[in-house]
Structure 1
Amino acid sequence: MDKRHFLSFSFLLFVFSQYNVIAQTTADSIKACPVKSLPELFKKKDSVLVFKPKKNNFFLVIPIIGSQPATGFSYGFVTQYTFKGKKADDKYSSVNLGAIYTEKKQLLINVKNSVMVNHNSIFLSGDWRFYIFSQPNFGLGTDIIPPSNRYDDFDLNILKEPMDYNYLKFHQTASWEVKNNYYVGAGVHLDWYTTITDKNLNVAAGQFTNHYNYSKKYDYNENEYFVNGLSLNLLYDSRDNQINTNRGMFANINYRYNPAITKSQHASSVLFMEYRCFLPLSKKNEQHVFSLWATGQLVTTGNVPYLNLPSVGWDQRSRSGKGYTQGLFRGQKMVYLETEYRFPITCNQLISGTVFANFTSASDKDREIRLFQYVQPAAGLGLRILIDKATRTNLVFNYALGRHSKAFYLNAGESF
């Protein structure tokens, strides 16, 4: 990030940290405030106190009006249904449905599930999508943005290779508990890319793109390809609440094998690893949390099509790589790390905040760019508004600065 962005970000960090110190000191010196969520501010006070049992479900609909580098101006809606079983130690589950239309004439339909059933004994995790999509590609590896001491006037737009395509995704795993918090399972995975239009490609004029060159080298049809596979899933989950975690860990290892069923396919295998850790920093207020999120996705054997390569922003929730446009960094191997400090701002927990930083590294074996040879950082601030107490669901606003890049995000639920 340039000096102006760095100074602005440093000043905001200082203001947030000083406000947080004052707020926490005040909170510790007075009686704890009752927790308030946003809908409660608009409810009329009852004249008679009535006991209401703790609810086990919450339905949320959020209209989306915003702007991101990958989509431009967009509008639509996101719904989230959060629920749990009747037993006290049942964990919360969530199902999300979103539909968004953008000024770039993109249609994005997402269905995500992260569900615990049968008293936490079965864990279901799914990512289903249908996109009528357009997105620029920038090449492979994280060296595409030069070191900060070179090319201070560097313009990321010069690397853009715009593409249109349709994308159908169906990823679903089911894991069974074999020991307390330990799960073993399997999954099915399908990725289908059709009507791919590479707008910068002009073979007759000798104008080629990264997508075209990669597809020709590894014998893929540059207009359509299909990847299908089965996976083995090993999982550990001790989080107290998967919607908004204050303590616990989540770890997942997914090994996927993609067979070559048709002549246009090539056999491959992909290893995905994920780790999340949540450490409470205060015994008096569990909103003080240090969290860490790390992922690694590696093509271990064979090759996969260009658009199916590990890429930033294509995780289940599309939350990785804050500060950079979706798909900016791509490679045969990719590692992502994000750290976040979550803290209260108001005593009643209605408003809270975060500061975060992330790091991305991707490889390109064709140019002998190794993993961790180039690392791209980003950092930012977030604001949270509590919209449901029982499930601890927040409305999330994040602003992030990367190198020669920035982005604003509006979501329901934490990034991880």
Structure 2
Amino acid sequence: MFGLVRLIAVLLAWFSKHPLKFIKHPDAGVLIDQLVPKYGYPLEEHSLTTTDGYILVMYRIPYGKNHNTTNPYPVLMVHGAIGNPESFLSPSPHAGTAWYLADKGFDVWLLGIRGSTKSRKHRSLDPDRDRAFWEFGIHEIGIYDLTAAIDYILSRTNKNKLFYIGYSQGTTAFLIMASVLPDYNDKISLGLNIAPCAFMNYNPSTVFRFISTQWELLKHILDTLGLHEIPSLSAANFIKDTMGLLCSEQTIFKDLCFIIIYTGGEDTGQINSLTPQLLFTQIPSTTSQRPFLHFLQLMKSEEFLYYDFGREENLKRYGRSKPPVYKLEDIRIPTAYVYSEHDTFCDAKGARKIIERTSSKHVHRIQVPFGHVDFIMSDNLIQQVGEPIYNFLINYTADIK
């Protein structure tokens, strides 16, 4: 009892000398439909339905702040796992990739993939009651969501091709689509992959690598608990509210926020003290368990494989006991890559393997320390990512008519 009283006294004394300082990021909690007009940019909201019934939201910034006519070059941007379209608008209009491209003459389309915050809809399935809603993975995102978005944009803009930009899981879905559906190779002028993820066996995290060896047990536990949506909508909102509050505190909790952001890697110093608060009011978004399990499976393999459903289901779906390999060599789209040696989730060795398999046309290796989250949150995003992207894209504008 005396020890507890002493601990409380010590904590009270510490807090008296280090008072909590809550500083709110001006865009924390501001969703895209309010954020874009806030800074003087035009915004359209579109709804599209995939061939398997998912109803997706897609936002369009047709031109930049100082223009008044639609830009001529459509670009589809697809976020990563547990993310939202806001990812490409962070950390600010002065640093976010989507703002930069709109100002540079691109017609920017931001897709919310199935299961994400505003794309939790289906023609017949209820995400809160029907398990079948959540029976999708990265494969379905690539085959159905990306193709629906591409067709929709080309129809609306009356263009023959568009540019594709994916981040993290957005690159995985692109590689799946481009390798499996050859017809869509003719609809993309350049496929640009930021922090590309496919060959995950190079991930250096001992925690992730251990969990990957237990993915079947993890799946069994999740299924037993009925956790097909990860995280649940209520859990996602709780995490956002809690972390958004803690990360607005500029003394003791700030360090914790940075530790979580850079899990498995080093703090690269690329984001400022308010950015974690902004990040945690945007993520996590809801998604299915399957993308996480697929990434864990890939950490055990030296190849870029289809999702492993288990022997019996694999035989039904693939006609073989083990999942087949995605043939990246079949991709005919010119591709470009932006990657970092300091990305500890989608490791540089894995990125280089993708580059070799796809006969890449353009590669930019970031020279400064740059972690996985830095690709969407760095204060130096324009210099390190935006400008290289622009230089790649501008070489292919003549292909879009």
Please indicate the TM-score interval, normalised by the length of the shorter structure: under 0.3
Q: TM-score, normalised by structure 2?
A: 0.25
Q: Who wins on radius of gyration, i.e. which is larger?
A: 1
Q: Comparing both structures, which one devotes a greater share of its residues to helix?
A: 2
Query: Relative to total residues, which structure has the larger strand share, 1 or 2?
Result: 1
| TM-score normalised according to structure 1 size | 0.24
